[in-house]
Amino acid sequence: MSRDEKNETEDLLSRRMSSGSASAADKQTQAPLEAANDPSTDTEAFDPITDPIAEDAPKHSADAKPSTGPVRVTPAHSTNPHSQPATASTRAAEQNTAQKSADADSAAATSASTDTGDTREVPQNARTAVMSEADWAAVSKAATSTDTRDPEVPERRRSVLDVIGTIWIMIAAPFVLLALAVRFVASGIFLKFEYFRPGFPADQFGFSAADREHYGTYVIDYLHNFDSRRYLADIVMPNGEPIFISDELSHMADVKGLISLLYLVALVGIIGSVLFGIYMCRKGGSGIHAGVRLGSIFSIVFMAAVAVVAVLGWDSFFRGFHKVFFADGTWEFYADDSLIRLFPPQFWVDSGIAGGGLFVLLAIILFLLSFTGFKKRRALRKARKDAEAEV
């Protein structure tokens, strides 16, 4: 290689090296500029709460209608070439301008509401409230009201079933009370009390008090069991003779049928009263107190009338009762027949007094129970009247 060629090669290498160092220097000088535009390396902290966000759109005046369209927001570190970097003084100026604008808007709204009274203009493209002014006024009144009365007072409405139920309970009450009184009289306890009480007449034909209790208990059991008349026909005295003759057995069968019918009517009355009572005690129903009260009053009046007739003439009353419920010739016996010896006339007088007294006592208890909840019902009626008066 000649000297000229060697010199040219050295010059080419030196030019390449100088160009490489220049490009490296350019890169070093460009890096700080890019870092200055990087938001993550900004030395001034940006607070999204206190620092306002610059808007490209101009501010609207107080008379301008609010826009519901999208708002273009320029970030604080935008690379828009037309925006200038925000400084502390610039942000403070923008805050003061925004505060003055807000004060002006509030003052304009206050003056507008004062001029037009309580009404206000709703922008055409603004969202309307779900509740009206009247609804808000009603809610505010209910929230601030000090009235402790229950605003919902159930109104009692008497339907056809309520009337039928009241009549049913009123009619069923005497039968139920009469069945209870008969069951008390036709019991072993009352029978024993009668036979062993002082002053009860003795049997003229040889039955002692123990014999009367022994044979009389069979009669009471027969009235309440499901056996036929043979239950009494099988009862014999120690000498083997039957206690009851055929006529007595027929009469006791009639008595058993009458008492069974009374128990059946009372049972049907109780079931119907319970069903009607469930319906009548519904919310807003008439309740059963009226039926129970009327039934108890009717029972007391009925028993008082029966007592007056019985006191005026017991024999006539006793015979008239048997003529109504039994056939003629089936209920009259001789003094030495077993039924007369076991159940003499004094027994029936005592039974009438005991049964009638228990009947009236139960009727009085029902009458008192019918006033249960009377104060509550009276308060409800008063509240209903007050509510109707306010309307």
Give the model's pLDDT for residue 312: 94
Chain centroid to Cα 46, Å, comes to 61
Per-residue model confidence (pLDDT) at position 2: 54
Answer whether 295's CB lies under 8 Å from 171's CB. yes
> Judging by beta carbons within 10 Å of its beta carbon (0-12, 13-18, 19+), is residue 18 exposed, middle or buried?
exposed
Mark 132-158 as b/e (b = at least 16 C-beta within 10 Å): eeeeeeeeeeeeeeeeeeeeebeeeee
pLDDT the model gives residue 12: 64
Residue labelled with tokens 């009260």: 293
User: Digits of tens for pLDDT over the chain (391 positions)?
Assistant: 555 666 666 666 666 665 555 554 454 544 444 444 444 444 445 455 555 554 444 444 445 455 444 444 444 444 444 444 445 455 555 566 656 555 555 555 444 444 444 445 545 555 555 667 777 777 677 666 555 544 444 555 678 999 999 999 999 999 999 999 999 999 999 999 999 999 999 999 989 999 999 999 999 999 999 999 999 999 999 888 999 999 999 999 999 999 999 999 999 999 999 999 999 988 877 889 999 999 999 999 999 999 999 999 999 999 999 999 999 888 999 999 999 999 999 999 999 999 999 999 999 999 999 988 766 766 766 676 666 676 6
DSSP β-bridge partners for residue 73: 55
Q: Report the largest interatomic distance among the alpha carbons of the chain, rounded to a whole angstrom.
A: 182
Cβ(352)–Cβ(292) below 8 Å: no
Kind and range of the H or E run holding 287: none
pLDDT given for residue 118 in this prediction: 47
Q: How many whole angstroms separate alpha carbon 261 and alpha carbon 268?
A: 11
For the stretch 191-196, contacts whose Cβ atoms lie closer than 8 Å and that sit 24 or more positions apart, written own/partner, are 191/216, 191/217, 191/220, 194/347, 194/350
pLDDT at 281: 87
CA gap 13, 204 in Å, rounded: 167
Q: Which long-range contacts (CB under 8 A, 24 or more apart) does 81-85 make?
A: 83/54
pLDDT in the model for residue 76: 46
Inter-residue contact 169 to 288 (CB < 8 Å) = yes
Phi, psi of 381, rounded to the nearest 5 degrees: -65, -40
- Quick check: 356 and 364 in contact, CB under 8 A? no
Radius of gyration of the chain (CA): 54
pTM of the model: 0.59
Q: Would you call 55 helix, strand, or coil by DSSP? A: strand
